[in-house]
Structure 1
Amino acid sequence: MLAKASLENKTAVLYRMVMPSHTCPYGLKAKSLLERSGFEVEDHHLTCREETDTFKREHQVETTPQTFVGDKRVGGYDDVRRFLGKPVNDPDATSYRPVVVLFALTALMAAAVSYAVASTPFTVRALEWFISFSMVALALLKLQDVEQFSTMFLNYDLLARRWVPYSYVYPYAEGVAGLLMIAGALSWISIPVAFFIGTVGAASVFKAVYIDRRELKCACVGGSSKVPLGFVSLTENLMMVGMAIWMLVSRLMSTVA
């Protein structure tokens, strides 16, 4: 009945908070979504706390904004999305989006720098920059909340579970190794650090996921991550190991030459 009413009556009544010091972002999003979906929005502003509380009490709702179509209450912003057949974000759902976006952007950054330096995005150095840029970006996400990262990291890292301070050291080590690899400096520090933390990380992920069959969240993009521990986490660590080996071989070959 609600869907039928929405098709026959393309007018929506929206009540949202618009105060001198605060405009509800969900109210703005609900209004925009309704208008983009072809609705004429009758926009009512709740301009003070008393007015907002009175509205909630009269309609027996706990939040605003609230949308009405015909004589039916649709509800808040998420309810409007459901009403219009749009997907609704689940904050607890696992998602690979953070790492996909991160790796896509670091790959584009590496290609852009390669183009600026060598007039082509496709160089061996671009691949090296991609891995080192990714290391720095991942370290940055972890360092936003080291305490939360360390808590999640302790769920599966073999070394951190034996020596807790390693869970705090790890993101700094990853960031420093990545920065040194970008600069091509102090390889005697960056190579062993990347190889060590990558090897321990790969072994930890492999044991937790493929041997113990545990279902965990990965701390790779920070402590609030919804990324499942598994292939992506293993890839991150193997990339560091591969980069360390590649740089070591390259340095040895250049020394011999």
Structure 2
Amino acid sequence: MTGPMTGTKTAVLHRMVMDKHICPYGIKSKYLLEREGFTVDDRWLTTREQTDAFKVEHGVKTTPQTFIDGARIGGNDDLRRHLGKSVKDADAVSYVPVLAIFAMAALMAGAISWMMTGSVLTIRTAEMFIAVAMCLLAVPKLQDVEAFATMFLGYDLLARRWLPYAYIYPFAEGLAGVLMLAHAFDWIAIPTALFIGTIGAVSVFYAVYIQKRDIKCACVGGSSRVPLGFVSLTENVMMVAMAVWMIMSPAM
């Protein structure tokens, strides 16, 4: 609503603020309203009973709830839509998770190279980028190996024939990355990266470009929304490239 004298925009926000729970979406709604120039009449629901009564009164299932000009706008997503803001689709596919890992790996590799040599643009930076990326990509897989294995079985050719491989893969990727970063035990790191990278590349290429399947990639864990495709193939090709480079340049 708009104040009759000042022309200021006001909104009424009902949100849960309890001793043991403060609704994060309520905080987001308040911040968004204030950023858009609204004066917020911030009304706290401080008990479960008060919250349940509010839901019954207004016929809603969730809080927070925002009212503007006497009309109920709804929850945080509804408010964002009302104000012309984007709303994330929880089911939408996205390359953001794996691109974020690649970006952080590049920054970390550059930082390590700068510390060691005073330069960022070196061959060693590229080597460290691949090794660090492998380590970072292993982390979300290791957080829930069971979920990863289930998604991995959807397209990996070896895992389908030998189930334990789906559970071994995250550990193998992480181990190879750490050893490559340390330049230690090349006789373990090189064949491991070469093996899992080759199998992975063939599996992704077959699923995406031969079978033309539209499925999710397990590259950043079993709850990933990353589509299986070029980025997934790149992950495996990088491992193979690193292994081949180490074979050709043993005295790096």
TM-score, normalised relative to structure 1? 0.94
For 2:63, the equivalent position in structure 1 comes to 64
Taking the aligned partners of 1:10 and 1:90, their CA distance within structure 2 comes to 29
Taking the aligned partners of 2:156 and 2:19, their CA distance within structure 1 comes to 49
* Deviation, structure 1 residue 81: 0.5
Taking the aligned partners of 1:127 and 1:162, their CA distance within structure 2 comes to 34
Can you list the C-alpha shifts for 1:6-35, whole angstroms capped at 9, x where unaligned? xx7611100000011111110000000100
Query: 1:104 is aligned with what amino acid?
Result: A
Taking the aligned partners of 1:43 and 1:218, their CA distance within structure 2 comes to 43
* Deviation, structure 1 residue 58: 0.3
Q: Is the 8 A contact 1:135 1:175 kept in 2?
A: yes
For 2:240, the equivalent position in structure 1 comes to 241
* Secondary structure of the structure 2 residue equivalent to 1:74: strand
For 2:38, the equivalent position in structure 1 comes to 39
1:139-178 to structure 2, matched below 5 A, reads 139-178=138-177
Q: Percent identity?
A: 63
Q: CA RMSD in A?
A: 1.2
* Secondary structure of the structure 1 residue equivalent to 2:17: strand
Q: Given the alignment of the two structures, is residue 95 of structure 1 paired with residue 89 of structure 2, yes or no?
A: no
Taking the aligned partners of 2:103 and 2:38, their CA distance within structure 1 comes to 36
Residue correspondences, number: 247
Can you list the C-alpha shifts for 1:130-172, whole angstroms capped at 9, x where unaligned? 0000000000110010000000000000000000000000000
Return 5+ residue gaps in structure 2 as ranges.
Answer: 2-6
Q: Given the alignment of the two structures, is residue 183 of structure 1 paired with residue 203 of structure 2, yes or no?
A: no
Taking the aligned partners of 1:239 and 1:201, their CA distance within structure 2 comes to 11
For 2:194, the equivalent position in structure 1 comes to 195
For 1:130, the equivalent position in structure 2 comes to 129
Taking the aligned partners of 1:232 and 1:218, their CA distance within structure 2 comes to 9
Q: Is the 8 A contact 1:9 1:69 kept in 2?
A: no
Query: 1:234 is aligned with what amino acid?
Result: L
Return 5+ residue gaps in structure 1 as ranges.
Answer: 3-7
Q: Is the 8 A contact 2:8 2:39 kept in 1?
A: no
Taking the aligned partners of 2:159 and 2:63, their CA distance within structure 1 comes to 45
Spell out structure 1 runs of 4+ moving beyond 4 A: none
TM-score, normalised relative to structure 2? 0.96
Taking the aligned partners of 2:147 and 2:89, their CA distance within structure 1 comes to 21
